[in-house]
Amino acid sequence: MQTPAESTLSALHETLRRDGFSFVAGSVMRELFEQRHALDDWARFAASWDDLAPDAYLASVGHNRSRRYAVFAAGSSGEIVRQPHQPHYQSRDYNNLQGGIERWFEPVLPDVAGSYSLRTILEFCRDFYGDLSPDVAAWHIELHQFRIEARPGQPGQPTPEGVHRDGVNYVLVLLIDRHNIVSGTTTIHAADGRELGSFTLTHAMDAALVDDSRVFHGVTAVEAQDPGQPSHRDVLVVTLRAAA
């Protein structure tokens, strides 16, 4: 007989196979993470979004967008190893706004990369998506910390490139925090543009699990609920691509 966690994972796998995506409530994600390790350092992990760097590659909206970036290598089991800092690259086939160039973002800080919270998230991604692709022996994992701010008269753009694919196998979008914002709705689309589903990440650890080889995704702009107060949407994006 399956445990409750095993039943949840089986149901999520079936949803991904059928639909190519799934929304997972934060309470469920927390339980799945804590099956692996207690998230005792979550508060420090979440606070690290206060120390991101401006996105210098988005001259028009970069003042509303900050981030850090890291790359990891993972086998089908065992240790997940951080790789030397390197640029993020997407072809113009996947990013017509910023594709075709090497983008050097500030690195994820060492204490964040080594935190229990992040290691637990990376192991979950490797194992969950690995079960969907058992023939993949090794993964190239890219990690993005994003903060999108909304300012008076300046909505924040979580996906300035529009509805897109990332050019990888799988994606996890995990909400860390949202403060004083409205909207930020995730939409999932078929290749012909049809909307397949939508949901809004509103609580910490709410997540989108996405088969990037099958569906496209985007996020609507965020606006300040109270324009006189600071507002932000903090997410962690993890992408997995079969290593060459």
Name the domain count of the chain. 1
> Which residue segment(s) compose the domain that 82 sits in?
4-242
**Residues 186-222: b if buried by 16+ CB within 10 A, e if exposed:** bbbbeeeeeeebebbbeebbbbbbbbbebbbbbbbbb
Give the model confidence (pLDDT) of 22-38 as tens digits: 999 999 999 999 999 99
pTM: 0.93
CATH number at residue 111: 2.60.120.620
**What does the block give as tokens for 218?**
């985007």
Q: Which of 14-18, 62-66, 208-212, 225-229 has the lowest mean pLDDT?
A: 62-66
Residue 61: pLDDT band (50, 70, 90) is very low
- pLDDT of 244 strictly over 90: no
